[in-house]
Structure 1
């Protein structure tokens, strides 16, 4: 495994944090054209897999059948942060879909964002499965099981027909044979899969450029799914988070996962990128993605500016005094 230093954070000129990792970019010819570090490193998708895990819903007639809005449909792909607009949409989905909250396998939780969590604690509200950041995904799982005639019980098991369906879709999109996909267990209890970073980048290229997908049904489902992600960016995460900032740009399909994994595809440029920060930091994603976009000459400077605003190059303390700096240390190798 070859990693490179992606970002350094200094305080009074002394290096305080070092973030190492790998980056890979691929083109429409399915070739690796940019890299930093080892592009073949096996990496778990974590929540960057959510668009793929949501595909069975979009391949079905469930969204139309149950009268879901496009905002509600976006929650199937989301790592929602528990804001009021997330909870309102999830409650609405519970009223429409053939799903009971107690069937969700994701754990009882409070919202990820501090403000709604604090408000719920102030009102003595209890944890709910609905508040878990993966609840939209799990609602999609159960809905699809009932639509396809799969058993709901055990939908979280790797050998369940639904999870095997998802695994097959992942194999086709990533072009990694089933036998070479490594499986583990994700934070919410469902299977999580690892493949080489370059194939993760390829997957997001196809999500951005669905015409590269040979199966016309999957192509249509991907186009519908990414459309609702771009239409409702704050649903996929919330304000001031990288996914929502990137998805505001209609040219980009993006989703991050736990432990430093981030993936995005560019429609006009016909490129896909995947990166892994080895210490698991999500804090430096905006810096790394902004630098990638700058290094490839990305034209939408507003998108880059939004990323830079999320993680400024100047580090300040609680009083707003400058105490350090963030330094990007990598250069993409153009192959």
Structure 2
């Protein structure tokens, strides 16, 4: 029996797979406006939390101390491709903080951008933590530790002041008690925060509309969202949804993917936050789900939708690049009477 809150995968004339979807749409006042699935489900936000994790970079004065540009700050929220525009900027920020790439504790994986990977192999170069998609976030953490006179060799551990500041801010922005936040370890080695989906959506609503959070925090958040929308290529890179979505959105939206099928959006025009979780963790369903939510909320113009439509119902291709199926979101958001969640 087909679930109602799904993204389906069609091959030929049959539904080959189904991905269960959970969505919370919350405004900056804390009202649940629309949903599907279980909005109270506790999820690890994974990399979707990076814009919130970047707040201490601004609030501690680190961004000013080391002359962060919009592109620098945007990179600190990134899950980047490892293109030269990303890795060169990581090295430049580290150098201004008196560090180099050996300070990074994010571990090693192959760069996402195939041209970078091929170039490293052809030139006999080592794949280092520099190419990790989280190296921008780690660079921001390191720079903050330097600014605050803290140790840099253990900045990634939960009891380090860098991580304690982040935990406190995640709690405050998402309006969820710090002692109830589930803590795991992310793929890059730093703590990852588990909060209910509706509180994650609320966090992004407050990133979109930070009024009432205090002058210092409001300035910090607005600086981060401005950086992401001014330099969206830093957040993902070439042929990445986050980058294309924010570029097409023309400074109205911030969007951030997270591993295991998480996607979060903040609408700076309306102050609405959206949090999406794919139950089985398959990221292929996250972008179609995000596009479907935006479509049902009438958040995109016809021109914006046209520019992004390939993310809405992406084709399945075989090895000959022939279209043999498609991924289709089939859920319908349930609108709610405006109420606190």
The TM-score by the shorter chain falls in which range?
over 0.9
Alignment of 1:69-84 (within 5 A): 69-84=69-84
The Cα offsets for residues 66-93 of structure 1, whole Å up to 9 and x where unpaired, read as 2333212221111111112112212222
Alignment of 1:288-303 (within 5 A): 288-303=289-304
After superposition, the Cα gap between the structure-2 partners of 1:147 and 1:293, relative to the gap in structure 1 and judged at 3 Å, is same
Q: Does 1:226 find its partner at 2:225?
A: yes
Aligned length: 332
The Cα offsets for residues 216-240 of structure 1, whole Å up to 9 and x where unpaired, read as 2111001001111000101100122
- The Cα shift of 1:133 comes to 1.0
Partner SS for 1:77: coil
Task: Show the counterpart of 2:113.
Answer: 113
Task: Show the counterpart of 1:208.
Answer: 208
Partner SS for 1:39: coil
Alignment of 1:175-190 (within 5 A): 175-190=175-190
Task: Show the counterpart of 1:159.
Answer: 159
- The Cα shift of 1:184 comes to 0.6
- The Cα shift of 1:289 comes to 1.3
Structure 1: segments with no counterpart, 5+ residues: none
Q: Partners in 2 of 1:45 and 1:296 — Cα distance?
A: 22
Larger mean Cα displacement after TM superposition, 194-203 or 233-242 = 233-242
- The Cα shift of 1:192 comes to 0.4
Partner SS for 1:210: coil
Partner SS for 1:92: helix
Checking the alignment, whether the CA contact within 8 Å between 1:286 and 1:308 is kept in structure 2 is no
State the TM-score, normalized to the length of structure 2: 0.92
Q: Partners in 2 of 1:138 and 1:111 — Cα distance?
A: 16
Task: Show the counterpart of 1:134.
Answer: 134
Task: Show the counterpart of 1:253.
Answer: 254
Task: Show the counterpart of 1:61.
Answer: 61
Task: Show the counterpart of 1:279.
Answer: 280
Checking the alignment, whether the CA contact within 8 Å between 1:57 and 1:63 is kept in structure 2 is yes
Task: Show the counterpart of 2:28.
Answer: 28
Checking the alignment, whether the CA contact within 8 Å between 1:205 and 1:265 is kept in structure 2 is yes
Task: Show the counterpart of 2:339.
Answer: none
Larger mean Cα displacement after TM superposition, 263-272 or 199-208 = 263-272
Partner SS for 1:67: coil
Checking the alignment, whether the CA contact within 8 Å between 1:4 and 1:22 is kept in structure 2 is no
Q: Partners in 2 of 1:26 and 1:58 — Cα distance?
A: 25
After superposition, the Cα gap between the structure-2 partners of 1:13 and 1:123, relative to the gap in structure 1 and judged at 3 Å, is same
- The Cα shift of 1:293 comes to 1.1
Partner SS for 2:275: strand
Q: Partners in 1 of 2:314 and 2:66 — Cα distance?
A: 46
Q: Partners in 2 of 1:189 and 1:302 — Cα distance?
A: 40
Q: Does 1:305 find its partner at 2:333?
A: no
Structure 2: segments with no counterpart, 5+ residues: 337-341
Larger mean Cα displacement after TM superposition, 236-245 or 192-201 = 236-245
- The Cα shift of 1:188 comes to 0.6
Q: Does 1:101 find its partner at 2:101?
A: yes
Task: Show the counterpart of 1:330.
Answer: 331
After superposition, the Cα gap between the structure-2 partners of 1:91 and 1:328, relative to the gap in structure 1 and judged at 3 Å, is same
- The Cα shift of 1:56 comes to 0.9
Larger mean Cα displacement after TM superposition, 12-21 or 189-198 = 12-21
Q: Partners in 2 of 1:306 and 1:242 — Cα distance?
A: 11
- The Cα shift of 1:11 comes to 1.1
**Structure 1 runs of 4+ with >3 Å offset:** 310-316, 318-322
After superposition, the Cα gap between the structure-2 partners of 1:27 and 1:169, relative to the gap in structure 1 and judged at 3 Å, is same
- The Cα shift of 1:194 comes to 0.2
Larger mean Cα displacement after TM superposition, 269-278 or 86-95 = 86-95
Q: Partners in 1 of 2:11 and 2:280 — Cα distance?
A: 19
Task: Show the counterpart of 1:18.
Answer: 18
State the TM-score, normalized to the length of structure 1: 0.94
The Cα offsets for residues 292-312 of structure 1, whole Å up to 9 and x where unpaired, read as 111112242333233322354
- The Cα shift of 1:245 comes to 1.6
Checking the alignment, whether the CA contact within 8 Å between 2:291 and 2:312 is kept in structure 1 is no
